[in-house]
Amino acid sequence: MTRFAPLKNDCFLRACLRQATDYTPLWLMRQAGRYLPEYRATRERAGSFMGLATNVDYATEVTLQPLDRYALDAAILFSDILTVPDAMGLGLSFAQGEGPKFARPVRDEAAVGALAVPDLDRLRYVFDAVTSIRKALDGRVPLIGFSGSPWTLACYMVEGAGSDDYRLVKSMLYARPDLMHRILQVNADAVSAYLNAQIDAGAQAVMVFDSWGGVLADGVFQQFSLAYTARVLAQLKRTGVDGKVVPRIVFTKGGGLWLREMGALDCEVLGLDWTVNLGSARTLVGEGARGKALQGNLDPNVLFAPPAAIEAEVAKVLASFGTPHTDTTRPGPTHIFNLGHGISQYTPPEHVTALVEAVHAQSRALRRA
Amino acid sequence: MTRFAPLKNDCFLRACLRQATDYTPLWLMRQAGRYLPEYRATRERAGSFMGLATNVDYATEVTLQPLDRYALDAAILFSDILTVPDAMGLGLSFAQGEGPKFARPVRDEAAVGALAVPDLDRLRYVFDAVTSIRKALDGRVPLIGFSGSPWTLACYMVEGAGSDDYRLVKSMLYARPDLMHRILQVNADAVSAYLNAQIDAGAQAVMVFDSWGGVLADGVFQQFSLAYTARVLAQLKRTGVDGKVVPRIVFTKGGGLWLREMGALDCEVLGLDWTVNLGSARTLVGEGARGKALQGNLDPNVLFAPPAAIEAEVAKVLASFGTPHTDTTRPGPTHIFNLGHGISQYTPPEHVTALVEAVHAQSRALRRA
C-alpha cells in the first residue's frame, strides 16, 4: 500500500466531520480550470481536454495549480464528470468550443439492457491520477475525489450531450420508468465502485455531484435521484488508505427545496447553491447529533465584482451561516466555504485572491467576536 | 368604452379569487405555440415571429387556436415577453432558429441613464390585440394579459439575449447595484403602465412572469426581483373595463424557496413550477383569509409520455394539492392547473387532449369523493 505524507492542514476534513476549526475552510468547485492562465497553458500542451484529463502528469499539474496561487484548504481531483459512462462504452468526445457528446447515447431498451458496471481497469488513469496528486500534495491539504450522481450521469447518457429541457431523459423517465430505474441501478453501482477505487488510491473525501437533480419534479427527485445517491452512499468505504474516515459530500444543484430529505442521507456534508439561505439550512439540517456540515454557497458571479464588493458578499455568506461552533469536545455546526456552482472561466484570477483572503480573515474574526 | 360579451365560463376567475368551483380550471403557459400545426401555418403566413406578434389579426387568430382544440378555461394574450424593452428602443429581433436579441443592450451608465418608461403608443399593437382577442372570445373564457417581471426584462436588456450564466447582468448587479436599481425602477413603472393599459383594453386577469428570478441568490432575489414585482403590483388597477376585479398572478420560476415571502405579495395567485410540493405550498401560503390561489405545476415533459402516464401524473398533481374547498359562502384554498413552465414545441397535440380531459374529469371526481 502506498504511504502518503502526513496531513499538514486538516481544517477542511475537521469541518466535514463537524469538528471546531480556527477559521472557515475554503475550496472552489472547478478551482483547477480555464480562468487560470497556467491551466490554459497546460491544456494547450495536452492538445485536448481528454488528453489533459487522461494523462496522470497533466492531471496532477493542473490539480495543484490553484493551490500554488491561493491558500485553499482542499484539492479536488481534476477529471471529467463523464468518465464512468465513457468507460461503459458510450464514446465520449469534446468538440471544439462545445460541451461533451456521446457517440452512442442510451435511448432504447436494447441500449439500456446492454449497460453494465464498467471494468474499472478502463478508469485506471483516474485512480493513478488520484495517487499521483496525493503524492504531489505531500500533505499540504486533503484531496477530494468525485463522481457525477447516478441521475446526472443518466441525463448525459440519454440526452447524448448537455440539454436545456431534458426532454429525452424525462420522456424515458415518464414513459418507461422501468428503463430509467435500470440505468440508475447500473449507474449507482458503477459510481460506488468508482469512488471506492478513488478512496483506495488515496482520496481523503469524496463528493457526489448531482448537478441536474434540481430539474426534476417534486416526488420524482426523491425516486429517481435521491434514492440512487443513497444507494451509492450505502456502498462507499468509510475509511481511506491511512485508516482515517473519508467524509462524503452530496451536492444537488437546485435541491434546496428537498433539504430536509437530503438531511436524512448517510453522508457527512451537504453542498448548497446560492438560492439557499445558509442560516435556514443550518436550522433544518446542520444542528443536533445527526446534523450535516454545510458547504457553499457564494454565487460565482460575485467574482466579477471588484474586491470590496466580494468582501461584502463573503461577509453576508458567513453571517448567514452564523458563527460555527467552537467546542472542541464534541461535533457541532460547521461551514465549508465554496461557491454555489463551478467558478466561471471568465473570472479574473486576482479576484479569487480577494475571496480567499476575505473568507479566512473574516471567519477568524467571527470566531473571536 | 368597448362593451364585451358576458362571460360564460368563469371557473378560472373564480379559482383566482379563491372561490369554490365544480372542477379545477386549466390553462397552459405558451398554449398558443409551435406544438400546434395551425400555429405553425399562421406563423408561416406572417413571415416572422414579430410579424405574427405585432399583427392584431394574427395575434387574435393564434390566441384562439388552442381554445378551438381543447376545453381550456382561460386564454392568454399571444405576445412576446420583450415588447416593453423593445418599445424602450433597444431594437428587438429574432434571428432564424435563435432566441431574441437586442441590437442595443444596456451595459453602461450612459445606457442606463437613457432608459425611460416608453411611450405606450409604441405598444398600441398589444392593446389592440387584447381588445380584438376579447371580442373574438365572445365570452367563452376570460383573457389573461401578461408581462415579464422587471428583473426578467433586465436580464435580457443587459445580456442582450438569452444567457446560461447571467454573467453580464449579475456583474452589473454586484459591481454597480445603483445602475441595476435604476433599470429595475424604470422597468417596474413601465410594466405597471403596460399591464394597466392591457386591463383597460379588456384583460380580465394579468400575470407577471418572473422567469429568471430563480437564478438569483437568497437575499438578492428579495432585493432585486421580489421588491420590483411588488412595485408593479402596487401600481396595478384593481378592476377591469367591466368593473370586475382583475386577479394578479405572479410566477417566479425556481422561486419555491421564497414561497413564504411571495405569500406576502399583494396579488391573488402564485404560479409554481414542478419542483414545488403543492401540498406544502398550500399549507404555507394557500390557507387562511390572506392565502393565495395556487397555479401549476406539471412538468411539461410529462406530455411526452403516453396518455395513461399523463393521467397518472395529473392524479399526482391533484392529490398533492388535495381537495379544493367547496364552501361557496367564503374564499378558501383553490388550485388552477397549469404546467410548471411553457409547453414544449415538441409536444404531441393529442397528448394535450388527454391532459385536459384528465384534469377536468379527475378534479370533478375528487370533489364528489
Q: What is the pLDDT of residues A273-307, one digit of tens each?
A: 999 999 999 999 999 989 999 999 999 999 999 99
Give the fold, CATH level 3, of A11-368. TIM Barrel (3.20.20)
pTM tops 0.95: yes
Q: Please compute the mean of the pLDDT values over residues A205-211 and round it to a whole number.
A: 98
Confidence label for A99 from pLDDT (cuts 50, 70 and 90): confident
B301 and A165 within 8 Å at the Cβ level: the answer is yes
Q: What is the pLDDT of residue A2?
A: 62
Of B119, B143, B139, B140, the closest CA to residue B130 belongs to B143
> In this predicted model, what pLDDT tens digit does every residue of B161-195 receive, in sequence order?
999 899 999 999 999 999 999 999 999 999 999 99
A–B: how many Cβ contacts below 8 A? 104
Residue A64 has pLDDT above 80, yes or no: yes
pLDDT in tens, B251-260: 999 999 999 9
pLDDT in tens, B78-102: 999 999 999 999 999 988 777 899 9
Average pLDDT, chain A: 97
A73 annotated ligand binder: no
Q: Provide the pLDDT for residue A112.
A: 98
Q: Chain B interface, mutation test: which of A301, A304, A316, most B Cβ atoms within 10 Å?
A: A301
Q: Is the confidence at residue A1, as pLDDT, over 70?
A: no
Active-site residue among A14, A18, A23, A30? A30
**Residues B245-284 pLDDT 10s:** 999 999 999 999 999 999 999 999 999 999 999 999 999 9
Interface contact B165-A344, CB threshold 8 A: yes
Contacts A175 to B, Cβ<8 Å: 304-306, 309
Cβ–Cβ below 8 Å for B219 and A309 = no
Q: What pLDDT score was predicted for residue A96?
A: 75
∠ Cα A354 A357 A358 (to 5°): 80
Domain boundaries, chain A: 11-368
Instruction: Determine whether A80 is an active site residue.
Output: yes
Residue B2 has pLDDT above 70, yes or no: no
Q: Which residues of B219-236 are buried (b: 16+ CB within 10 A; e: fewer)?
A: ebbebbbbebbbbbbeeb
Q: Looking at beta carbons, which residues of chain A come within 8 Å of B174?
A: 301-302, 304-305, 309, 313
Interface contact flag, A301 B170, Cβ < 8 Å? yes
What pLDDT is attached to residue B95?
A: 80
Could you say which of B175, B221, B306 has the minimum Cβ distance to residue A305?
B175
Question: What string of H, E and C letters represents the secondary structure of chain A?
Answer: CCCCCCCCCCHHHHHHCCCCCCCCCECCCCCCCCCCHHHHHHHHHHCCHHHHHCCHHHHHHHHHHHHHHCCCCCEECCCCCCHHHHHHHHCEEECCCCCEEECCCCCCHHHHHHCCCCCHHHHHHHHHHHHHHHHHHCCCCCEEEEEECHHHHHHHHHHCECCCCCHHHHHHHHHCHHHHHHHHHHHHHHHHHHHHHHHHHCCCEEEEEECCHHHCCCCHHHHHHHHHHHHHHHHCCCECCCCCECCEEEEECCCHHHHHHHCCCCCCEEECCCCCCHHHHHHHHHCCCCCCEEEEEECHHHHHCCHHHHHHHHHHHHHHHCCCCCCCCCCCCCEEEEECCCCCCCCCHHHHHHHHHHHHHHHHHHHHC
Distance CA B133, CA B202 (A): 9
Residue of A167, A214, A274 lying closest to B218 (CB–CB): A274
Q: Is A107 annotated as a binding residue?
A: no
Per-residue pLDDT of A156-170, as tens digits, reads 999 999 998 999 999
Q: How far, in Å, are A25, A206, A341, B264 from residue A281 at the CA level?
A: 18, 21, 17, 22
The residue in chain A having the minimum alpha-carbon distance to the alpha carbon of residue B313 is A174
Cβ within 8 Å, pair B254-A256: no
B274/A257 Cβ within 8 A: no
Record: contact A275-B316, CB cut-off 8 A: no
Interface test with A, best of B180, B301, B347 (most A CBs within 10 A): B301
| pLDDT at site B98 | 78
**Residue A39 among the catalytic residues:** no
**Ligand-binding site membership of A360 (annotated):** no
Chain B contact set for A219 (CB, 8 A):
277, 316, 320
pLDDT tens digits, A133-159: 999 999 999 999 999 999 999 999 999
For testing contact with chain B, the best of A167, A174, A215 (most B CBs within 10 A)? A174
Contact at CB, B218 and A316, closer than 8 angstroms: no
